Structure 1
Amino acid sequence: MESAFELETRAVFDRYQRQQENDDHIFDRLASLIEEDYFGLPAGSFRGLDILDAGCGSNANASYAFLEKGARSVTSLELGSEWMDCASKRLGRFGARSALVAGSVLDLPFDDGSFDFVHCAGVLPHTSEPRKGFEELTRVTRPDGKLFITVMGTGNGVVYRCINHLRELYKHDLQFRHSVDNLNAASARQAIDWLLDTKDREEAEYLSKENDFFRSLFDEDFFVTIRDRFQAPTYHDFDFTEIQIRDWFAECGFANIRRISRYTRAFHNLRRFLAPMYRHYDHPLARFWFGDGCIQMIGERPRQ
């Protein structure tokens, strides 16, 4: 039975995931994250697999990518059923290969060993019992199958220290909450226009087209991310460690446990200049800004 907290979280995510569905650039960027090379697999490795996308989100972009890459079946699981109309817009064309299921990662409605590949990105921190959720994901992973999860690491970098502070402000300061809730590309464009117009009245551009470049750093994709960081409630702020997640995999019997990372391409905003730190999360500059960063871990469940 989902808690009120988890249902509130689902409602917040539903709002901005529907925005992502309606923006082809954002959806395509998200779907492009599912690449065999990223998971350390040969090209074509998803063909013929039964895959679970646990906590797929309303737009189910990862499910879409797995199906595009030839999965035999993809089961997209999310709380409730209100998200299914959104997910079916793109998944409907895959017919019986795509299944939409209402359920919780804390009590998966599947038999043991149902899936060859289990994908659970950014879900466990939004549950009351992340370790229980991990054990459920382990249970439904087949022998010789793989489990992939992402969680946000400890908030010991500058960015996440600021985010955690601003999340508290969002909870308690109505004016700040109103500003965040109304933050989007259109409202930002008005503010940026005022800023640059005021600057231009005082001095000419120092660099050719510097105003155009500055405007390009902020788009709707960027503000969807910002709202996500502040609006989404979580039981567990950024307080997971790489060692902790490795231990979860090891204690559940996984082998070939690897932390993986990627250079996230196709950003059209400020995050384009942060992508090198997403890829090289252990570089001193990345550690300074992001601490342990986004922990993305994959392991293989061996045959007993």
Structure 2
Amino acid sequence: MESSFEIRTRTVFDQYQRDQENDPHIFDRLVSLIEEEYFGLAAGSFRGLDVLDAGCGSNANASYAFLEKGAHSVVSLELGNDWMDCARKRLSRFGPRSQLVAGSVLDLPFDEKRFDFVHCAGVLPHTSDPKTGFEELARVTRPGGSFFLTIMGTANGVIYRCINHLRELYQNDEQFRSAIDNLNGSTTREAIDWLLNAKENEEEEYMPGENAFFRSLFDDDLFVTIRDRFQAPTYHEFSFTEEQIRDWFVECGFDNIRRISRYTRNFHNLRRFLAPMYRHYDHPLARFWFGDGCIQMIGNKPST
């Protein structure tokens, strides 16, 4: 059921997910996002569970985390087969507990009530029919199991309004598109060196260490995020609200539905100064910059 733009999106994501795989700091940071406490579960709750990591990405970092935490099995699902060589680099150590499956969230190749925990982070906005994808993920969640979803909210904050404008520029301006495509730690270090050298030719540092601090705000991890926001073919549509996603959970029979947030740690760049707003998404400052923000919601399917 996947469309051509979902396939194009997969191609875009593949490259920088491979970049993440090759950077130990980035990969470890992503793995650290999977923790029982964050999902409202007791320590050790993933032990013995059958987990679906839907839209796992080429490096399957969440799958790796679930397996490390003792899941009985983890099915890592992604479009096509081209990503599997990258995922196997990390997951092969877990043997038959790890299974790689080619498939779409719009038509999951699994029986109903197959998984104890379903994880789908940042995938549905890149599909032609997010509601169908949600219903499919709900279908394969077992009674007594949990379904966790991450989806971008409505673009009613300053940052996302800017992103949408620059995404349009990326699509239509060849010079800007080339600059974004070539944006990485190396090219940025060259630009920053020029900027700071030019500044130092005119005046000394105002505060000791200010140049080193400025350099610390930028790294490859940051540029992976920036390229993600501009290059992915479907990021132009931030159109989901917390109320809407909560209604989807209710319609699919879930209860104990809750929006969750975290203070995202271990950034070595500018985003460490944004982390308080990720945690406190409802603070007026966070609302100003991010609007509805990144909606992360989990629900439980009642036991029958």
The TM-score range, normalised by the shorter chain, is over 0.9
1:182 partner amino acid: N
1:281 pairs with 2:281: yes
TM-score (normalizing by structure 1): 0.99
Distance 1:245 1:236, change over 3 A: farther
Q: How does 1:40-59 map to 2 (within 5 A)?
A: 40-59=40-59
Aligned residue in 2 for 1:13: 13
Q: How does 1:211-250 map to 2 (within 5 A)?
A: 211-234=211-234, 237-250=237-250
Q: How does 1:87-106 map to 2 (within 5 A)?
A: 87-106=87-106
Aligned residue in 2 for 1:82: 82
Q: How far has the Cα of 1:235 moved from its partner?
A: 7.0
Aligned residue in 2 for 1:156: 156
1:184 pairs with 2:157: no
The answer to whether the Cα contact below 8 Å between 2:164 and 2:236 also exists between their aligned partners in 1 is no
Q: How far has the Cα of 1:140 moved from its partner?
A: 0.2
What is the RMSD computed on CA atoms of the aligned residues? 0.7
Q: How far has the Cα of 1:303 moved from its partner?
A: 2.4
**Which consecutive aligned stretches of 4+ in structure 1 deviate over 3 angstroms post-superposition?**
none
The answer to whether the Cα contact below 8 Å between 2:64 and 2:90 also exists between their aligned partners in 1 is yes
Find the residue that maps to 1:271 and give its secondary structure.
helix
Q: Deviations over 1:48-105 (max 9, x none)?
A: 0000000000000000000000000000000000000000000000000000000000
TM-score (normalizing by structure 2): 0.99
1:277 partner amino acid: M
Q: How far has the Cα of 1:240 moved from its partner?
A: 0.5
Q: How far has the Cα of 1:136 moved from its partner?
A: 0.2
Q: How far has the Cα of 1:238 moved from its partner?
A: 1.1
Aligned residue in 1 for 2:170: 170
Q: How far has the Cα of 1:239 moved from its partner?
A: 1.1
1:110 partner amino acid: F
Aligned residue in 1 for 2:140: 140
Identity over aligned pairs, percent: 79
Q: Distance in 2 between matches of 1:65 and 1:284?
A: 33
Find the residue that maps to 1:202 and give its secondary structure.
coil
Query: Where does structure 2 lack aligned partners over 5 or more consecutive residues?
Result: none
The answer to whether the Cα contact below 8 Å between 2:155 and 2:292 also exists between their aligned partners in 1 is yes
Find the residue that maps to 2:112 and give its secondary structure.
coil
1:122 pairs with 2:132: no
Q: Deviations over 1:256-296 (max 9, x none)?
A: 00000000000000000000000000000000000000000
Q: Deviations over 1:168-191 (max 9, x none)?
A: 000111110000000011000011
1:270 partner amino acid: L
The answer to whether the Cα contact below 8 Å between 2:53 and 2:76 also exists between their aligned partners in 1 is yes
Q: Distance in 2 between matches of 1:81 and 1:252?
A: 30
Query: Where does structure 1 lack aligned partners over 5 or more consecutive residues?
Result: none
Find the residue that maps to 1:119 and give its secondary structure.
strand
Q: Distance in 2 between matches of 1:33 and 1:142?
A: 23
Q: Distance in 2 between matches of 1:152 and 1:5?
A: 18
1:268 partner amino acid: H
Q: Distance in 2 between matches of 1:88 and 1:235?
A: 28
2:153 partner amino acid: G
Q: How far has the Cα of 1:3 moved from its partner?
A: 1.3
